[in-house]
Structure 1
Amino acid sequence: MGNEVRTMADIARLAGVSVSTVSRALNDSPLIPEETKERIRRIAHTYNYELHVGARNLRLQRTQTIAAVIPFGETSDRQVSDPFYLEIIGAIANKLAEYDYDLLISRAHAADEGWYQRYVLGKRVDGLIIIGRKLNDRGIAKLVELGANFVVWGPPLPGQRYVSVGSDGVSGAAQAVRHLIQLGRRRIAFIGGDEDETETWLRRRGYEQELQRAGLPLDANLIAYAHFTSESGYFAMRQLLARAPDIDGVFVCSDLMAVAAMEALRQEGRDVPNDVSIVGYDDIPLAAHCSPPLTTVRQQIRRGGMLLASKLIDLIEGRQVESVTLPVELIIRESCGAKVRSARGC
C-alpha cells in the first residue's frame, strides 16, 4: 500500500494508533488528547483524506455500505437476536469499520427471489454478506448470475461458483457423534435445524457417517428437525422421546436448541448426563454457564465474521479471493458425562 491513504485503518497505521482512536479524533471526541487529535488531523490533511474518499466513492458509485442478509423460510422464527447471529454480525461490523464501511442488517424471505433487487439492482449497497443458505438456493444463484459482489457463510461446496467462509459441518458432527459412541452411547438422536438448510444437511451427513463407521443402524425415529430456536429444540426433544424412549445420547445442531433439549429431558425425569448425554454446536457463551455446562462443537464464529468482511472488501476492490473452510473443535464439558466418568475413575 505504501503511503496511500484510503481508510481510517491507513491513518491509524501511520499515526501508530487504533482505528477507533482515529475515528474519535476526526470527530473531535473529548476522550482523545489534543496532541493525538492534532497528529491524526495533520496526517488526514496531508493525504486529503476526506476529499480523497468522497471523490473516489463518487467516481466508483460507492455507497460505503454493506448488507448482512439473513434469509428465513416459511416456518422459521429464528430471530436476529440469536447469540450466533449477534457474534458473527458483531465481528463483521468491527472488521468493516476498519474499511470505513457501514453495515445494514436485513432479514429476507428465502422464497422471495426478488429480495436481491433491492440491494444489487437498486445499488443500495456495495456488497452482500449472506448468513445462511438453503439447499439449491435460488437467491444465491441469482446473485451469481448478476455478477454481484457477495460472500456466504458456510463451507465451500462442490461446484460452487461464489466465495464462502464457514466451518466444516461434516467433521464437527462426526467428532460429536464419535465422542458419544466412545462414551458407550448407542441410541444417539439428531436434532437438526431447518431441514432445507445446508448447515443442517452437512451436520446430518457427519452424524450418519459416524454411526455407519461404528456399525450402528440409522433409525428415522432418532431424527427430528427444528428451527434453531429454543422453543423448537424443546419440542423436538419431546417428540424424540415419544418416538424412541430408549435414547441415551443426542447431537443437537445448535447450543440454543441443546440447552432447551436438556430442559425437556429434565421435565421427563431424565438425568443429563447420567441417563442421556448431550452435545451441542457453536460454543456460544451460554454453553459454558448452563446446567450442566454443555459439551459442544466450537465454531470459529468471530474469525469467520472477520473473514467474511475482509473477503467481501477484496471482491469489491477487484482482488482475487478464495473460499475458506475453518476447522472445528470439540469442547468437552459436563453434559456428555465424560468428566463425570473421569472423576469416578471409569
Structure 2
Amino acid sequence: MNEAAPRTNRKSPAGGETRLTMQDIARLANVSTPTVSRVLNDSPLVTGETRERVLEVARRHGYAVNRNAQKLRQARTNTIAVMLDFGSHRHGAIGDPFVFELLAGVSEALSIRNQELLLSPPGMEDARAFSDFFQARGADGFIVLGQGTRHAMLRAVSRTNVPLVVWGAVSPDAGYCAIGSDNVAGGRLAGEHFLSRGRQRWLFIGDTRHEELRLRYEGLCLAAKEQADVSIDLLAIASMAFTATAETVTDYLRDAPPPDAVFAFSDTAAMAAIGAFKARGLTAPREYSLVGYNNIPPAAHFSPALTTIEQKTDVAGALLVEKLMQLIDGGRSRSVMLPTRIVVRET
C-alpha cells in the first residue's frame, strides 16, 4: 500500500502522475526506509540532522503521510469513541448545553494528546457491540457522557476489559471508572436552600431511574429528613428534552396544588419548569423557590436568573481522558467524585 498522496512530476508508464513512496524518499535522502518511517512517526531514535534531511526531501516532493495506512501498522488507532446518551432525549435530539460543555472539554483534552475523537458510533447498545468494535480496532477505548439508564450495560462492558470511563454517578461497586459530581451533596444543598426560605411543599423533577438523579433526590430527602412539615413530591420525566419537561410540568400543575419549591434535574429543565409555572400565573421567587443543576452559562442570564448547583466541569474533560489513557496503557483508574456548590441567584 502506498504511504502517501504526493504532488510530484514522477510519471507512470502510462504517462500520468504516480505516488511517491517511502522507498523513494529513502533513496532521495540517502537513508534506509525504516529510518524514513521513524522520522515520520517522530521516533527519538533518529538524529536531528537526519530528521531534517528526510523532512526536507518529503516537503520538497509533496509527500503526505497516509494516516489511515499508518494506523493499520500501529498497535493503536489513536482514536477514542465518545458516546452520548441519546436515548434519554426525545427522538435522540440532545439540546442541553451541559452535554456539549463536557464534550468540548473531552475534545480539547484529546487534541492535546493527539488523539482523534469518534462521536457516538451507531449500534452500541450492549456489551457485545462495545467489545466487537474494540476488537475490530474501531477505537482504543470509550468515554461515555451520561449513564442514563444504562448502568447495567456499562457494568457488563467493564467486565469485557474494554477500556471505559463514564461521566455519571460515582459508586464504589459500579465496576467501572466514573467521574462525576457529589450528587447527594447537590441535592442536600438544594433542600437547605428551600429550608432557609421557609418552603414546605417541595417538588423534584427528574427520572430517578438515572443513578445521578436518584442520588440528587436522595440528597434532597436527607435535607428534609428532620422536618416534619416538609413534603416532597416526585415528578418523573420520560425524556430529558426541554419540550417534554415543559409538557409534563404543565400537566402536573393542572392536576395538583402548586409546590412552593422546585428542584429540577438540570438548568434546562428548570427553565422549562419556569415557563410552565408562568403560564399558570406563578413566578419565582415570589410564589416558589427553584434550584436547577449544572450552572450552564445561560443560567446567570435567564429571567429570573437561576439558583443552581454547580459541577466542576472545567476539569471533567481532562480527568475523563486522563483516566481512560491510564486504562489503555494497562494501568488501573480510580473513580473521582468532584465537589458541588450552590450558586444563589434570583430564584
Cα displacement string for residues 189-214 of structure 1 (whole angstroms, at most 9, x for unaligned residues):
0101x342111111111122222233
**Equivalent position of 1:241 in the other structure:** 253
Do the aligned partners of 1:299 and 1:327 also contact (CA within 8 Å) in 2?
yes
Structure 2 SS opposite 1:146? coil
Q: Distance in 2 between matches of 1:125 and 1:174?
A: 39
Q: Which one of the candidate residues 195, 206, 216 is aligned to 2:219?
A: 206
Q: Distance in 1 between matches of 2:261 and 2:298?
A: 21
Amino acid at match of 1:294: L
- Cα distance change, pair 108–215 in 1 and its aligned pair in 2 (3 A): farther
Cα displacement string for residues 25-52 of structure 1 (whole angstroms, at most 9, x for unaligned residues):
xxxxxxxxxxxxxxxxxxxx9x946353
Amino acid at match of 2:143: I
**Offset at residue 254 of structure 1 (A):** 0.3
Q: Which one of the candidate residues 97, 101, 107 is aligned to 1:83?
A: 97
For the pair 1:165 / 2:179, whether they are aligned, the reply is: yes
**Equivalent position of 1:92 in the other structure:** 106
**Offset at residue 236 of structure 1 (A):** 2.7
For the pair 1:191 / 2:205, whether they are aligned, the reply is: yes
- Cα distance change, pair 74–185 in 1 and its aligned pair in 2 (3 A): closer
Q: Over aligned residue pairs, what C-alpha RMSD do you find?
A: 2.7
Q: Distance in 2 between matches of 1:140 and 1:211?
A: 33
Cα displacement string for residues 127-177 of structure 1 (whole angstroms, at most 9, x for unaligned residues):
100111145723212211210111011242131221111001111011011
Q: Distance in 1 between matches of 2:222 and 2:80?
A: 38
Q: Which one of the candidate residues 302, 313, 332 is aligned to 1:290?
A: 302
**Equivalent position of 2:118 in the other structure:** 104
**Equivalent position of 1:137 in the other structure:** 151
Unmatched segments (≥5 aa) in structure 1: 1-44, 336-346
**Equivalent position of 2:324 in the other structure:** 312
- Cα distance change, pair 162–282 in 1 and its aligned pair in 2 (3 A): same
**Among the aligned pairs, what percent are the same residue?**
32
Q: Distance in 2 between matches of 1:207 and 1:110?
A: 34
**Equivalent position of 2:281 in the other structure:** 269
Amino acid at match of 2:205: I
Query: In terms of mean alpha carbon deviation, does 179-188 or 223-232 score higher?
Result: 223-232
Q: Distance in 2 between matches of 1:313 and 1:113?
A: 20
Query: In terms of mean alpha carbon deviation, does 236-245 or 316-325 score higher?
Result: 236-245
**Equivalent position of 2:163 in the other structure:** 149
Q: Distance in 2 between matches of 1:321 and 1:112?
A: 22
**Offset at residue 242 of structure 1 (A):** 2.6
**Offset at residue 78 of structure 1 (A):** 5.4
Do the aligned partners of 2:205 and 2:263 also contact (CA within 8 Å) in 1?
yes
Amino acid at match of 1:333: R
Structure 2 SS opposite 1:241? helix
Where do residues 209-228 of structure 1 align in structure 2 (5 Å cutoff)?
209-220=222-233, 222-228=234-240
Q: Distance in 2 between matches of 1:322 and 1:268?
A: 47
Do the aligned partners of 1:155 and 1:324 also contact (CA within 8 Å) in 2?
no
**Offset at residue 106 of structure 1 (A):** 1.0
- Cα distance change, pair 285–191 in 1 and its aligned pair in 2 (3 A): same
Q: Distance in 2 between matches of 1:330 and 1:81?
A: 23
**Offset at residue 80 of structure 1 (A):** 3.8
**Equivalent position of 2:19 in the other structure:** none
Larger CA Rg, structure 1 vs 2 = 2
For the pair 1:300 / 2:312, whether they are aligned, the reply is: yes
Q: Distance in 2 between matches of 1:78 and 1:209?
A: 33
Q: Distance in 2 between matches of 1:111 and 1:241?
A: 36
Amino acid at match of 1:101: Q
For the pair 1:253 / 2:265, whether they are aligned, the reply is: yes
Do the aligned partners of 2:201 and 2:232 also contact (CA within 8 Å) in 1?
no
Do the aligned partners of 1:212 and 1:218 also contact (CA within 8 Å) in 2?
no
**Offset at residue 58 of structure 1 (A):** 5.8
- Cα distance change, pair 328–75 in 1 and its aligned pair in 2 (3 A): closer
Query: In terms of mean alpha carbon deviation, does 171-180 or 51-60 score higher?
Result: 51-60
Aligned residue pairs, count: 288
Q: Distance in 1 between matches of 2:266 and 2:250?
A: 17
Q: TM-score, normalised by structure 1?
A: 0.75
**Offset at residue 292 of structure 1 (A):** 0.5
For the pair 1:50 / 2:41, whether they are aligned, the reply is: yes
- Cα distance change, pair 109–249 in 1 and its aligned pair in 2 (3 A): farther
Do the aligned partners of 1:176 and 1:297 also contact (CA within 8 Å) in 2?
yes
**Offset at residue 249 of structure 1 (A):** 0.8
Do the aligned partners of 2:240 and 2:269 also contact (CA within 8 Å) in 1?
yes
Do the aligned partners of 1:132 and 1:197 also contact (CA within 8 Å) in 2?
no
Query: In terms of mean alpha carbon deviation, does 115-124 or 47-56 score higher?
Result: 47-56
Amino acid at match of 2:304: P
